Chains A and B, each alone.
Chain A
Amino acid sequence: MSFYDTLLKLESMPLGEQSGQYGRNDVERALSREKLDPEDLLALLSPAAVPYLEEMAQKAHRITRAHFGYAVQLFTPMYVADYCVNQCTYCSFSVEHDFARKKLTMEEVDREASAIAATGLRHILLLTGESRKDSPVSYVKECAGVLRRHFSSVSIEVNPLSLEEYRELAACGVDGLTMFQEVYDRETYARLHVKGPKRNFRARLDAPERGCQAGFRSVTIGALLGLSDWRREAFMTAMHARYLQDRYPGTEISIAPPRFRPYLGSFSPESDVTDRALVQIILAYRLFLPRSGLTLSTREPAALRDRLVHLGITKISAGVTTEVGGHTGGGGTPQFEISDERSVPEIREMLYRSGLQPVFKDWDILAEAPV
């Protein structure tokens, strides 16, 4: 059993355009319930829910304050390598793009980490391009060992790994895993992932579950919104999160709702995800999964991020660069263009102004230090 089996069954539900069959009564019933079922989630993502966005927002706000208070955790991604063996039509790191690839040495990782830690951040997300050859598990492990000297929590966003490899990383202090499925629609997935191991839909889909089994404290999933019908993608993401939450109660499951951003290539998304749609997605996530983390990236513009933090967001990135070595002036190629270029102190001040408390440290790694 894996989420793949669940996904096959869910594909028969009225997804995407078909969700137009839901009406006001369905939305009102969903809003009145404490524990929502998949039909409620579909209703909240459907066009019928649009007139209820304010009501959804009020409820999402109440739930978030009860469970998380005013705390919003800060983190930043750190790109250490941009070598990639996949050809994905929507990503700068795709193997088809010709640019000078980079991979940080441990000295450079240490320098980059020092620069980030000096801003007060204690949570770091380590990223690589997807290449087992250029950024193998041993490299990720070595980087994590350096990062542990600077941060109280180290998460990774790398190519899907085996259960044993995840266990190895968890044992040496990596405590979080982020794995974006990118697209849950299998046909679209096959079309957008032209070459490379990333074509294996199932291997990617099961990676978060392997992360839970390996003992990572937190696992973050998500779809890259815009690559396919957003209602369908948001529904599958939330169902995936609930699947993991039900089976691995000790793991904190979070969702990130990134929207497509300009990158090195010329691909245009087929599904336009408006600000209103993004709000609807975030609210539906919060109502369906009251205790899940919700992560907001710098793909969204500053003015919008300032508003979204009140709708259920519990983690936010700050001081972001998507280039390898970007925190120490590395000058690599950005994976995508960010929209909110504010520094850590600026994000901190924004949160305080919004009546929220920036949490720089929310965990201490308890695993033994790697040898």
Chain B
Amino acid sequence: MSQDLFHIGGKSLSSRLFIGTGKYSRNTLIPEVVEASGSEVITVALRRIDPASREENILTHIPPHMTLLPNTSGARTAEEAVRIARLARAAGMGNWVKIEVINDQKYLLPDNLETVKATEILAAEGFIVLPYMSPDLSAALRLRDVGAAAVMPLGAPIGSNRGLKTKELVGILIEEAGLPVIVDAGIGRPSEAAEAMEMGAAAVLLNTAIATARDPLLMAEAFRGAVASGRQAYLAGLGAVRNAAEASSPLTGFLSV
């Protein structure tokens, strides 16, 4: 089998596991998690970056080969997301950006309407925009039309580790959105990441499941394997699921005699 690369934003990635940088007990774990996960894309909240702090600056812990995906976490409106994205680019963090517009501090559910607005502005400015969204087909199509490089529907609310609760809707996006679907948020177990990949997701992004595991490095490895397996299964073509068993002594066999 030829190498199965994921092409996005002018880059070719061999790993389809995107990881986060939040919630760890110490930033020094990040390079080890990168290594164990095999991930090549890492999201980082611009609001947490403090260039003035040598010790606590999260960027100093991210290996140079990683593609940075600064996110607009903390933005409540399209306008705030756009300002954060521009700050990230001005700070030399490249032109990839994960749009997060959240105006709901209780469940942290994204605001699709504001997300479309921010995506349109930033895509026109040359950003590679990956918007975090609630899995809604109309919103996904609008995001595609205004220039998103992918859509990132949630599997379940951020940090919930509940898995692919939105499976049916994510499946529709995979079928219909016409651009890569990266499942983001909610995935708590490697089996759930594998399931998303088996369905045809282009990639998965997760943070809490690894950062809060008892052994984050072992969990990163587990997700690495699960994402690769799920992708392989998708490429192999899953067998049809039949409702009826194939009986060894058919009841209608006499008709062929």
- What is A's interface to B at a CB cutoff of 8 Å? 65-71, 120, 122, 152, 217, 245-246, 249-253, 291, 352, 355-364, 366
Are the C-beta atoms of B23 and A71 separated by less than 8 Å? Answer: yes
Give CA–CA (A251, B48) in the complex, Å.
18
CB of B191 within 8 A of chain A?
A: no
Contact A250 B104 (CB under 8 A): yes
Check if A249 sits within 8 Å of B105, measured CB to CB.
yes
Contact of B104 among A71, A249, A357, A366 (CB under 8 A): A249
| Chain A residue at minimal CB-CB distance from B55 | A120
Pairwise interchain contact A69-B211, C-beta atoms closer than 8 A: yes
CB distance B53 to A355 under 8 Å? no
Nearest first, the 5 closest Cβ-Cβ pairs linking A and B are: A69-B23, A70-B25, A361-B50, A250-B103, A249-B104
Q: A357-B27, A363-B47 are in contact. List 18 more A-B contacts (CB 8 A).
A: A68-B23, A69-B23, A69-B24, A69-B212, A70-B25, A70-B212, A217-B74, A252-B105, A291-B108, A357-B24, A357-B25, A360-B56, A361-B47, A361-B48, A362-B47, A363-B74, A364-B47, A366-B83
In-complex Cβ contact of A359 among B48, B76, B80 (8 A):
B48
Give Cα A366 to B211, complex, Å.
29
Q: Which residues of A contact B25 (CB under 8 A)?
A: 70, 355-357
Cα–Cα distance between A172 and B84 once the two chains are bound (Å): 18
Interface residue from A253, A352, A366 paired with B84 (Cβ < 8 Å): A366
Contacts of A361 in B (CB 8 A): 47-50, 53, 56
User: Which of A251, A361, A362, A363 counts the most chain B CB atoms within 10 A?
Assistant: A361
Q: Interface 1/0s, chain B 205-245, versus A by CB < 8 A?
A: 00010011000000000000000000000000000000000
CA distance A5 to B53 in the complex (A): 47
Does B166 reach chain A (CB closer than 8 Å)?
no
Q: A70 contacts B24, CB within 8 Å?
A: yes
- From A66, A69, A245, A356, B105 is in contact (CB under 8 Å) with A245
- A283 and B26 CA atoms in complex are apart in Å by 25
Do B211 and A66 touch (CB < 8 A)? no
Query: In the docked arrangement, what's the CA distance between A356 and B84, Å?
Result: 27
Q: Judge whether B22 is part of the interface by a CB distance below 8 angstroms.
A: yes
Cβ-defined contact, A352 with B105, below 8 A: no
Question: CB < 8 Å: which of A249, A358, A360 contacts B106?
Answer: A249
Closest B-chain residue to A293, C-beta based? B105
Question: B residues within 8 A CB of A364?
Answer: 46-47, 84, 87
B105–A360 CB distance below 8 A: no
CA distance A352 to B56 in the complex (A): 12
Write the chain B residue with the least CB distance to A356. B25
| A360 with B53, Cβ < 8 A, contacts A251-B105, A291-B105 known | yes
* Contact among A66, A67, A120, A251 with B53 in the assembled complex (CB-CB below 8 Å): A120
Interface residues of B in 86-142 (CB under 8 A from A): 87, 103-108
Q: Mark B52-89, 1 if CB is under 8 A from A, else 0.
A: 01011000000000000000001010001001100100
Give the residues in chain A near B106, CB-CB below 8 Å: 245-246, 249, 291
B53 closest partner in A (C-beta):
A120
Contacts of A65 in B (CB 8 A): 23, 212
Q: Are B22 and A66 neighbours in the complex by a CB distance under 8 Å?
A: no
Most buried by B among A122, A217, A360, A366: A366
**Which single member of A71, A245, A251, A253 contacts B22 (CB below 8 Å)?**
A71
A66→B160 contact, CB < 8 A? yes
- In this complex, the member of B27, B56, B160, B208 whose beta carbon has the largest number of chain A beta carbons within 10 angstroms is B56
Residues of A within 8 A of B22 (CB): 69, 71
Task: Tell me if A66 and B27 are in contact (CB < 8 A).
Answer: no
B161 close to chain A: CB less than 8 A: yes
Task: Confirm or deny: B171 has a beta carbon within 8 angstroms of a beta carbon on chain A.
Answer: no
Q: How long is the Cα–Cα vector from A69 to B104 in the complex, in angstroms?
A: 19
The answer to whether A152 and B23 touch across the interface, beta carbons within 8 angstroms, is no
Complex contacts, B104 vs chain A, CB 8 Å: 249-250
Given A250-B76, A361-B50, A362-B47, are A352 and B26 neighbors across the interface (CB < 8 Å)?
yes
Residues in B neighbouring A68, C-beta threshold 8 A: 23
Contacting residues, chain B, for A355 (C-beta < 8 A): 25
User: Nearest-CB distance from A100 to chain B (Å)?
Assistant: 36
Least CB distance, A115 to chain B, in whole angstroms: 15
